[in-house]
């Protein structure tokens, strides 16, 4: 037992613990007192005499578990989620639990002499990357990690500090020695498993560096995520990403409301309008008998929103409906309509239900038949015949759709009638201008009757439109 304790003390020194000869002698004396029958008592005695720093505790725990491992320490009935990586791999190779237990006990004696990276590569224990870095005694300055392009560089630095080639050499030498005891074929199989585990360690180290970058550069990461989300097409977004867009949609709609024009109006009170007062004084020989005042008041815009919810814009229609819903919440005079072939008003639906429920009802056929083929001409004609009174010289009409008309008559005259009554007519199209003249697109027929047509296929384009939009 004395030789085992001396060797264990030497292994502790090799792995970075500061162990003096006097402390090894204390270990021998403590072991004589507690004996070797109870592993926990032995572990406590050795830890008391050898571990002086909290940072050394992980190294000691791993070395003790490996060096003093005995057959039967590992539970062969443990589930894969709890078993060491090497056990999982050997099970997949078809070895029985008894064979695995025998190999693990044999490897434990050898593994105690390996470097921390080689031990993790062997996969005898589930070791976290943070613990591996502490065990290896690596000190890397992450203060210079300021760009995601540096993640690969810092990962390589970590690997070089841990000497992966040396770890692979240790493993190869160990399996060469074990080949004589367990057979060359089985040793080669375990070497293959260890090589795969080393690759997983490399991936784990890269994830560790990436997480460290995020912790140190939260603002940069948030900006990158927002930029990626803003430029990602609506059709490629997941449900989670669309949910994250709701706050941004609300912000854009509020900004749109703030862009309501402030027009001067003449009143009996307010600031003196010097220009108009002087002009009025010309009738009295330049004597300002009548003072003209001016005041500024918000002219609340009236909105009419026409939103296409056909299959051709299924990837953006739900998002656009959320935008229309939020506009109606923020503006006092908004009427909302949805259409495919028929057109129906959803103003009351949006008033009665919360946003998700209202959008689901509109999208599932609660207002119009959503399974029909798109017919923009028919929808515009229905609006001109039934709802044209909703449009006044103070109304901005906002059309949202791709103008894919399935080769039906465009009925552009109906849109022209709407434009004639409205203050402005704006069209948001998810398709780029290059596709407006191809296939069944009727956008070129409608474009002359629009004050403005904008491509809105992602959040960045919608932001740009809102930033330059005046209702």
> What is the DSSP annotation of 218-281?
HHHHHHHHHHHHHHS-GGG--HHHHHHHHHHHHHHHHHHHHT--EEEEEESSSEE-HHHHHHHH
Asked if pLDDT for residue 10 goes beyond 90, the answer is: no
User: What pLDDT, on a 0 to 100 scale, did the predictor assign at position 73?
Assistant: 44
On the question of pLDDT at 240 being above 70, the answer is no
Of the chain, the percentage scoring pLDDT greater than 70 comes to 71
Instruction: Please check the confidence at residue 336 and state whether its pLDDT lies above 80.
Output: yes
Higher per-residue pLDDT: 447 or 132: 447
* 131: confidence class by pLDDT, cuts 50, 70, 90: low
Q: What is the dihedral of CA 253, 259, 264, 270, to 10 degrees?
A: 70
Given a cut of 50, whether residue 71 has pLDDT beyond it is: no
**What pLDDT digit, counting tens, does each position of 370-401 carry?**
888 889 999 999 999 999 999 998 888 989 88
pLDDT recorded at residue 301: 65
Residue 20 CB-half CA count within 13 A? 5
DSSP calls for 306-344:
EEE-SGGGHHHHHHHHHHHHHHHHH-SSEEEEEESSSEE
Residue 235: its pLDDT value, please?
56
Q: Most confidently modeled of 97-101, 151-155, 236-240? A: 151-155
Q: How many residues comprise the chain?
A: 471
pLDDT of residue 72: 39
Q: In this model, does residue 206 exceed pLDDT 80?
A: yes
Please give the pLDDT value at position 17. Answer: 78
Among 107-121, 153-167, 170-184, which stretch is predicted with the lowest mean pLDDT?
107-121
Per the structure block, which two tokens stand in for 452?
Answer: 């403005």
For range 77-84, the mean pLDDT: 54
Between 136 and 459, name the one with better pLDDT. 459
Q: Give the pLDDT confidence score for residue 422 in this predicted structure.
A: 92
**Does the pLDDT at position 414 exceed 90?**
yes
Query: For 153-175, how does the pLDDT look when each residue is reduced to its tens digit (9 = 90+)?
Result: 888 887 777 777 777 787 788 87
Q: What is the mean pLDDT of residues 271-296?
A: 73
Q: What's the confidence (pLDDT) of residue 386? A: 93
Alpha carbons 95 and 85: distance in angstroms, whole number: 14
Residue 265 φ/ψ, nearest 5 degrees: -130, 140
State the pLDDT at residue 297: 54
What's the pLDDT band for 327 if we cut at 50, 70, 90? Answer: confident
Q: Looking at residue 471, what DSSP letter applies?
A: -
SS3 4: helix
**What average pLDDT does the structure give for the chain?**
76
Whether pLDDT at 322 is above 80: no
Q: How many other C-beta atoms can be found within 10 angstroms of the C-beta atom of residue 80? A: 11
**CA torsion angle for 443, 229, 245, 340 (degrees, to 10)?**
20
Q: How far apart are CA 296 and CA 271, in angstroms?
A: 9
Of 110-119, 241-250, 333-342, 348-357, the one with minimum mean pLDDT is 241-250
Residue 225: per-residue pLDDT: 57
Task: Give 284's DSSP letter.
Answer: G
pLDDT at 61 over 70: yes
For residue 265, the model assigns a pLDDT of 45
The pLDDT of residue 316 is above 80: no
**Lowest-confidence pick of 120-124, 180-184, 190-194, 197-201:** 120-124
Does the pTM surpass 0.75? The reply is: no
pLDDT average, residue stretch 242-259: 62
Best-predicted range by mean pLDDT (44-48, 219-223, 424-428): 424-428
pLDDT of residue 263: 45
As annotated, the residues of the chain forming the CATH 3.40.50.410 domain(s) are 302-467
Q: State the average pLDDT over residues 129-150.
A: 70
> pLDDT: is 283 or 450 the higher one?
450
Q: What is the pLDDT of residue 76?
A: 47
Most confident of 157-166, 186-195, 239-248, 390-399: 390-399
The confidence score (pLDDT) of residue 266 equals 44
Homologous superfamily in CATH for domain 302-467: von Willebrand factor, type A domain (3.40.50.410)
pLDDT class of 471 with cuts at 50, 70, 90: low
């Amino acid at each position: 037992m004395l030789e085992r304790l001396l060797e264990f003390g030497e292994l502790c020194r090799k792995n970075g613990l500061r162990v003096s000869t006097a402390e090894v002698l204390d270990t021998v004396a403590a072991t004589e007192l507690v004996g070797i029958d109870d592993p926990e008592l032995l572990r406590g005695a050795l830890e008391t005499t050898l571990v002086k720093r909290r940072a050394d505790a992980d190294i000691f725990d791993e070395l003790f578990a490996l060096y003093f491992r005995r057959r039967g320490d590992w539970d062969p009935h443990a589930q894969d989620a709890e078993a060491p990586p090497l056990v999982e791999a050997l099970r997949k190779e078809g070895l029985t639990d008894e064979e695995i237990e025998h190999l693990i006990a044999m490897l434990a004696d050898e593994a105690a002499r390996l470097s921390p990276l080689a031990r993790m590569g062997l996969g005898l224990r589930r070791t976290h990357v943070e613990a591996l870095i502490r065990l290896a005694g690596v000190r890397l300055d992450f203060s210079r990690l300021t760009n995601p392009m540096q993640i690969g560089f810092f990962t390589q630095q970590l690997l070089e500090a841990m000497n992966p080639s040396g770890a692979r050499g240790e493993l190869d030498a160990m399996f060469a020695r074990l080949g004589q005891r367990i057979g060359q074929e089985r040793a080669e199989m375990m070497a293959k498993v260890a090589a795969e585990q080393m690759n997983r360690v490399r991936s784990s180290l890269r994830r560790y560096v990436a997480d460290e970058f995020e912790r140190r550069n939260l603002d940069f990461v948030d900006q990158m995520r927002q930029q990626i989300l803003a430029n990602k097409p609506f059709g490629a977004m997941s449900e989670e990403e669309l949910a994250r867009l709701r706050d941004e949609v609300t912000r854009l709609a509020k900004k749109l409301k703030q862009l309501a024009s402030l027009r001067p109006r003449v009143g009996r009170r307010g600031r003196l309008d010097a220009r108009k007062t002087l002009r009025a004084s010309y009738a009295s020989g330049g004597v300002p008998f009548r003072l003209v005042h001016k005041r500024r008041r918000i002219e609340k815009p009236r909105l009419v929103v026409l939103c296409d919810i056909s299959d051709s814009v299924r990837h953006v229609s739900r998002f656009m409906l959320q935008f229309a819903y939020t506009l109606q919440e923020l503006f006092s005079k908004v009427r909302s309509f949805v259409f495919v072939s028929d057109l129906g008003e959803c103003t009351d639906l949006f008033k009665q239900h919360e946003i998700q429920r209202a959008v689901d009802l509109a999208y599932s056929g609660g207002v119009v038949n959503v399974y029909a083929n798109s017919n923009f001409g028919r929808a515009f004609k229905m609006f001109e015949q039934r709802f044209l009174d909703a449009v006044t010289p103070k109304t901005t009409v906002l059309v949202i759709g791709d103008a894919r008309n399935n080769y039906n008559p465009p009925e552009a005259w109906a849109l022209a009638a709407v434009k004639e009554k409205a203050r402005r007519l704006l069209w948001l199209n998810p398709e780029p201008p290059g596709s407006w003249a191809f296939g069944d697109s009727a956008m070129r027929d409608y474009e002359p009757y629009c004050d403005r047509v904008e491509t809105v296929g992602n959040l960045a384009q919608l932001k740009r439109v809102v930033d330059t939009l005046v209702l």
